[in-house]
Structure 1
Amino acid sequence: MFISVVFIIQETTCVNNTKFFRKKGYFGPCQHIEGDATMSTSHLETDAEVTALSNFRKWSKPWNVDFRISDGLLIPVSGYLIVKREKLASWKNERPEFDGVGHKAYVKKNEKMTEVPANEIIIGYQYGSKTIPFSAEAEKEMKLYSEPKDFSVICFAGAATIQEYFFTGDSTMIFVPRSGDQNSQVKLSAFIHALAESKKVAIVRRVYSDNMPPKVGFLSPVIKPSTEYLQYITLIYSEDVRKITFPSLLEEKKKLTDDQKGAIDDLIDSMDLTSSDGRELYRSVDIPNPYSKVVRQVSRHLLLHPETSVMEPMDEAKKQAMKPLEVSNDLIEKTAPSLKKVAEVFPVRAFKRIKQKKETFHPPRYQEQDDLLNFDIRPASLDFYNMNNKNTKECYPVVLNRPRGHVLIININSFESGNPRLGSEKDVSNLLMLFEKLNFIVTLKLDLNANELRRDVKNFAQREDHKDYSCCFVFIMSHGGPLGSNNGQWGIVCRDEVIINIEKDVINILSNREAKHLIGKPRFIVINACRGNWADTGIANTTPNVGYTSQTQVHTDSRNESGNVRIRTFDDMVILLSSPPGYASVRDLSCGTWLITNLCKVFSSRAFEKDVLTLFRLTDEALKHETGPGSEVQTLDLQSRGMNKDLFLYPGL
């Protein structure tokens, strides 16, 4: 709740209660801090209000800071809390005085409650079901060390652009010129009037003291006949915004009639919390905090009557605490006609619910499976991230504190003609676990026909939120089949036995021409399907120490006659095919395909230090050590199209 200073100092209830609550400073759900000695008191109407202002300096400590508007313009100001959320007093502060010596101990969860020696205690944090130990050095590294105390302007924005749902924090402040500094009074007054006349607010960065986390808020001008100040409210960060989509009310079956709209308008008007004599009902300054009241009443009762149960005083305490919130008879009588009209224009009909048997698909990762990989992904270091992320000429930028990107996994296991791909469910489970731990948003599609596969790939390529992330992966796993009788090209077999063209229906759809929000972002396409019937049984190895080298990709910009830079259709793209043209891919019936199994192993163990293209090469290197019972071997076909930078995934950051 955000209340301006004028509202606070006009509430004589706060002033009347000051004598009793002076040290605690709370007056119900919100803590109201009174007055300001630096402001003129000529506009105050009661002696109590003047007293509140004169006592301000005595009971409220100012936050003195130099307000930096630009490098050469500093204004000494003082900030005062006006509204602050009330917190339940700490039991540490509430406990009575005693002469004994306090003792803090940790005990084991056993029947004897065995005390743990101090030298055996280390700091740790709960991460899921695991407890992660934390050393003092690690704790120090995790702390945020910001710039020193700061209060400066970041930019200016139109007042109308600041929406109420941007507000956050538990308090509201006002800023006035530093007491006794006439020069700052003149400067701040000019700044306040400039904001008001231009209908702007100042977006500011606020660091309360050295090594405190920075906050972003806005300053809005408040000008009264005899006083003026800046009001400060903290703003949310972009990560705190949640986009919620509601179904449209414009559909024909959902449209409201004029009678229905009128009934709702009348109901809202009848619920106006203003009494007949113009007095506001249910003011926060008149309502004590129910939670605080219940805790205190129950605690007092148990202190005086320790033999009773905690439930005995609970009901009575709740009843007393909620009494100020009871709806008045006047409000009930005022809203009754409107509620009756709403019931008439919104008829309620009773429907008998028919229970239908619904088949629920549980992704393979939630099914008990043997032979799944045990992922223990080593996190990257922050220094490694800082070193590479600044090198934008050689590395793609990656934004931390958000998912790395989207992953689309399409697995076709069942076909109309039979011939299922046994073991492919292990590939799905391993990929799901891997990319969730690598902080990706994973979408799983199973057993699609040709039209569904084309549709889902296109919808994935055209996602608008790709622009918010760093990269994307697409995995398509199925049988392979020939596209024509004589051309030798193979494609992906869908559930309906239709064979789709990899180049046309997948790669082209993810190109810059179709995927506008992926322009400039790396895309990795992994196709795990046979590209022929030949089984690669390898050759006798007579040179065991021969290594492999890869060609360097060179990026060139092509321009048209007008001099405008042309964007290439295929750019920032890597295609990984499970076998060369004409050759089959190998799948273990119990563990899954060689490609996905080795890819997951390599990514989980080396992603903390290697880029994705190198991880693909290491996956192919791992395949050199795979040999089937019939001497089968497998070679990956790695294609790079405009991938001229490195992409690191930085797991754990």
Structure 2
Amino acid sequence: MAPSKIDNGTVIIIDIGKNVSDPEEKNGKSFFEKARECAIRIIERKVISQGKNLLGIILLGSKKTKNNLSESGSCRHIEVHSDLQYPTWQMIRDLPDKPSKSKGNWFDALLVAVDHFKSGVTALKIVNKQIMLMTNFLEPSDVETSELEQAVCGFREEGFQVDIIGPDIYDDENKNSEFELAKQFVEGTNGVTATFEFTMRYLLFHKKKAVNATPWNVDLSIGPNIKIPISTYIRIKDESVIKKWTTAIKDPVTNSKSNTEYIEKSKVFINTENQMVVDPDKNIKGYIYGQQVIPFTDFDKGMLYDSGPKSLTVYGFTKASNITWQCLNGDGLSYVFGRKGDKKAQYAVRCLVECLLELKLVGIVRRVYNNGNAPKMYALMPVIDSDNYVCLSMIGICFKEEIKNMAFPNTELKKYACTDDQVNAFKELIKNMDLTKAYEDTEFDDTEAFPIAKMVSPSAQYVLDCIAFRAMNPDQPLPPPRDDITMLFKVPPLIEKRRKHQLDKLKSLFVLNKVEIKKRAKTKTNQAMDIDQFDKPSTSTTYAAAMDNLPIIDINSVKKSGPITKIGMQNAINDFDALKRDGIDIKDLVPQMIETIESMVYGNIDGNFSKALDVISHFRNECVNTVPSHYNNWLKNFRVELIDRSRNDIISMVNEKKLNYILKSENSLSNMECDTFDESQLYENDTVPELTEVTISSEVNDLFDNM
């Protein structure tokens, strides 16, 4: 029987000898501490990814000598610490905390790792064999050139890849003869080398387990005769962070966990009337419809809707503009390709994609995933990537009852109009907050912040961090999110710096005045009068003395104010007539009149709107004799504002005073033929849903009455 295959196998060689015990810098970490942290992060990532990859650990410079090659007297102080197996948390717990005082040969450690691959697992065939070496190469290997070349050739033929993590072996400033030997292993086996800083930055975040995509194979049916074999692959899907949880019961006595022991659960049915246990065979399932329980027997199951076998049927094609983002739903996106190995199917899909793109159309399809599954509607949209592929993207679309239509008032009003300076200021703000240029060129390799399809989920990363922490610290409280995760929520410093000046400019262009709602003054309640205080003349004497000291003003001697230049709220009608007599056109007086009326209405405190209504009546009479559209357009917007402010009382007053629209019968220039107020005229956009009249038969109504 042929051995089963394993995709990847990794052996980590960690140097724990005396040569890695001293700190590299003052008050810094030693090479051993950095190597241990890096190894912990690698093991942790492999455990959480739940991949079927084997992992082994070899300690270089150990006090013990534990390997198969040590029987001949070589390969001393090299310990096979962990056999090739699936990674576990115990591997992290078993790593040594302190370096030893021994020294080992890194070249012998590579030979031990190769032997461990061959003899460690015999029933499995490992496809990709990786050896990670973590040492500072301060201990000489004492290997000859011919022996080294023979070893590199053997590593390459056996399919091994040697990666060196820790020192920068290509650094010209720190030249070492051992570095030249290590380069031959890296270059001869197509390996890689990286420093601890770069490796830890690469391991900052957890990644999903790499799995081969499983296609959903079906025939794409177009009409009764066309069937194209296609394969659908999931491109994006909303998934939980951890899919499978292993339930374990902790014994409080032995403080151990068991996966075989569990809490026994039982389910019983109890009659609420007599509190008796009912036999499950005598139960009939039902569904609650309102306050009524509708029984659902096995006979009713035969009457259920049958969606049919799995299928993907095209119902028709529609304009791409009809499919907006409001119509899309579902939990992911899929790509549709022609069936692998079927060139005719691939050519047909490509032809369909090009036709849809040229005609600006999308397909509407009905999808049944498998027998017994409910059908769903999807949209097929063309996708052409010149470098990679040509396919169809498939995403779910909503049914009519799932779409909520909302009506919004018209915003094309004069008071909402913006100046050119305000518009340009917002454009500059958007330009300064461009996330594609969020970092300096020398700060990061990529200047884009929060790139699409590359950002990790902060919540998912924190959940995985909590799992790793709980595995290593079962009795301690969970830590807060680390700084690397909280950085994902912060605005890039360069964006923060660039937007500050532009925001100050916007504040100067958009002057916002705080609106204070004045409360109506409370009327004073009558208080009880003290008879003893009533006879005291002090109050009247003081009041009389104050009145005597007031200066006498002759009203006739007061000079009249200058000419009227603006319509005021004190005497709006007279001001309007005076400005009109001065020769000012009514179209120039209309904005002032509108501003005055709205100020009198919105700024009213005492609740008496008689003066404002008189001004509205005078404004209407003037527009009846001149241009009716001035009054009609203003009244239309005025009603919208009153409805938004919930001031239906003012609308009622306007209707009672018969101050509605100027009709065509009053002035032929008017476009109003009916004076009744229709709220649907307030909105000029097409957001009000159309209602379809449904006729329900009397038999259905009788059925609900009987229920």
The TM-score, its normalising length taken from structure 2, stands at: 0.40
Name which one, 1 or 2, has greater alpha-carbon Rg: 2
Higher relative contact order at CA 8 Å, sep ≥6: structure 1 or structure 2? 1
The TM-score, its normalising length taken from structure 1, stands at: 0.43
